[in-house]
């Protein structure tokens, strides 16, 4: 199979600093991590919390690409400068978030509605980033309402020196459900290979198992970069499966990862219930690693406090088999 660069998709509320460090300690195969979006803060770009999340020393030397969500190039440029001061050389702009409160302000996928404004936004960003020597990549959807909006959106992107174009081939209206539009990705591949820029394209969406990756490799044989989100949350061994690492003892390794993550959150939240809430959020995905886990999962969801949570996790691990690749 192709030797893919595998990026961990940004996931707000999930793939923060503690998660990234823990995941990377336990699993191989992920090349880099995109941070959940940062919204620029007035006058100062980043606040204390953002800085704590992003300080390279708090990220164990992982390759991190910070992501910014805004529809203002002034706000982007100010925040980008602060990120450069922290040592970052590449930043991503979010043109895909479908949430109502985000798109109503013309941010995320909302920026795809009005292409004149999009052009102005990118003009303001790229003219400054070129001066600063900063690489700026884009993570995008293929349209707001319809997939056929993508050709025009691409013609806007092609005017700018994107460091990378990461495509989640769905429209805003499709949120995270339904079939991905591979034909739209194919359009981008054609456009960019004409420019000899194939290295700059990345596919994201519904890569949930090795067979999905094989299909992708078959369809787009010259693609070498993929981004995975929920697939890695559901099956943390997925990147290892893709690069064909021999991964035995899945149950034991999964348990160690989840225990380590709990420990990290407990430390971060001073032992409070917030740590358990974070773990429960993850179980929504990681339950898919197990066969017939629904019954045992109920007790994890109901658990109040660390002791109940741990007991419920013990029972699940003793009773459910891990799905094999």
Q: How many CB atoms lie within 10 A of CB 116?
A: 8
Question: Residues touching ligand FMN: how many (CB under 6 A)?
Answer: 22
236: contact with ligand FMN by CB under 6 A: no
CB of 258 to ligand FMN, least distance (A): 18
Q: Which pairs from 266-275 meet CB under 8 Å and 24+ separation?
A: 266/306, 268/18, 271/306, 273/304, 273/305, 275/306
Rounded Cα distance, 314 and 312, in Å: 5
Q: Which stretch binds ligand FMN (CB under 6 A): 21-29, 77-85, 147-155, 204-212?
A: 204-212
254: contact with ligand FMN by CB under 6 A: no
CB of 170 to ligand FMN, least distance (A): 8
Among 7, 16, 19, 36, the residue binding ligand FMN under the rule CB under 6 A is 36
Of 14 and 320, which CB lies nearer to ligand FMN in the complex structure?
Answer: 14
Among 4, 37, 88, 203, the residue binding ligand FMN under the rule CB under 6 A is 37
206: contact with ligand FMN by CB under 6 A: yes
Among 4, 6, 7, 9, the residue binding ligand FMN under the rule CB under 6 A is 9
Q: Which stretch binds ligand FMN (CB under 6 A): 118-126, 199-207, 297-305, 309-317?
A: 199-207
Q: Which residue has the tokens 């010259």?
A: 222
Rounded Cα distance, 36 and 49, in Å: 13
Q: Which stretch binds ligand FMN (CB under 6 A): 146-154, 191-199, 205-213, 217-225?
A: 205-213
Residue 165 pairs with which residues in a beta bridge?
138, 201
207: contact with ligand FMN by CB under 6 A: yes
Q: Which stretch binds ligand FMN (CB under 6 A): 3-11, 78-86, 253-261, 289-297?
A: 3-11
Q: Which stretch binds ligand FMN (CB under 6 A): 43-51, 155-163, 203-211, 264-272?
A: 203-211
Among 154, 86, 144, 149, CA closest to 119: 154
Asked if 10 and 39 touch (Cβ cutoff 8 Å), the reply is: no
Asked if 161 and 126 touch (Cβ cutoff 8 Å), the reply is: yes
CB of 234 to ligand FMN, least distance (A): 9
Q: Which stretch binds ligand FMN (CB under 6 A): 19-27, 115-123, 202-210, 213-221?
A: 202-210
Query: What is the footprint of ligand FMN within residues 109-148 (CB under 6 A)?
Result: 139
What separation in angstroms does the CA of 106 have from each of 101, 111, 113, 169?
9, 5, 8, 19
| Exposure on the CB side of residue 217, measured as CA atoms within 13 A | 13
Asked if 15 and 9 touch (Cβ cutoff 8 Å), the reply is: yes
Of 37 and 257, which CB lies nearer to ligand FMN in the complex structure?
Answer: 37
278: contact with ligand FMN by CB under 6 A: no
Q: What is the DSSP string of 183-214?
A: HHHHHHHHHHHHTT-GGGEEEES---SHHHHH
Of 278 and 320, which CB lies nearer to ligand FMN in the complex structure?
Answer: 278
CB of 277 to ligand FMN, least distance (A): 14
Among 121, 198, 133, CA closest to 164: 198
Question: What are the percentages of helix, strand and coil residues in the chain, rounded to 5?
Answer: 55, 15, 35
By the criterion CB under 6 A, which residues form the site for ligand FMN? Answer: 9-12, 14, 36-37, 67, 94, 96-97, 139, 168, 176, 204-207, 228-231
């Amino acid at each position: 199979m192709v030797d893919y660069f595998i990026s961990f998709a940004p996931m707000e509320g999930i793939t923060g600093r503690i998660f990234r460090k823990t995941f990377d300690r336990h699993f191989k195969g992920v090349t880099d991590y995109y941070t959940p979006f940062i919204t620029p803060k007035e006058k100062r770009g980043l606040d204390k919390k953002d800085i704590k999340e992003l300080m390279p020393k708090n990220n164990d030397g992982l390759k991190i690409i910070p992501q910014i969500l805004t529809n203002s190039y002034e706000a982007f440029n100010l925040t980008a400068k602060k990120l450069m001061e922290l040592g970052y050389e590449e930043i991503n702009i979010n043109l895909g978030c479908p949430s109502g409160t985000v798109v109503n302000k013309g941010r995320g996928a909302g920026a795809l509605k009005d292409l004149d404004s999009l052009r102005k936004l990118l003009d303001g960003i790229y003219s400054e980033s070129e001066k600063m020597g900063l690489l700026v990549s884009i993570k995008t959807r293929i349209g707001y309402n319809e997939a056929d909006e993508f050709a025009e959106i691409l013609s806007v992107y092609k005017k700018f020196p994107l460091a990378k174009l990461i495509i989640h081939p769905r429209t805003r209206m499709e949120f995270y459900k339904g079939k991905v539009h591979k034909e739209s990705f194919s359009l981008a591949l054609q456009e960019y290979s004409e420019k000899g820029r194939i290295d700059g394209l990345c596919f994201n969406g519904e890569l949930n198992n090795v067979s999905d990756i094989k299909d992708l490799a078959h369809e787009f044989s010259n693609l070498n970069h993929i981004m995975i989100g929920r697939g890695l949350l559901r099956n943390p061994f997925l990147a290892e499966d893709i690069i064909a690492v021999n991964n035995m003892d899945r149950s034991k390794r999964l348990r160690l990862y989840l225990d380590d993550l709990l420990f990290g959150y407990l430390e971060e939240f001073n032992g409070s219930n917030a740590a358990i809430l974070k773990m429960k959020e993850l179980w929504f995905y990681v339950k898919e690693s197990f066969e017939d886990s629904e019954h045992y999962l109920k007790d994890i969801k109901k658990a109040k406090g660390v002791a109940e949570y741990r007991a419920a996790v013990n029972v699940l691990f003793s009773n459910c088999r891990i799905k094999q690749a």
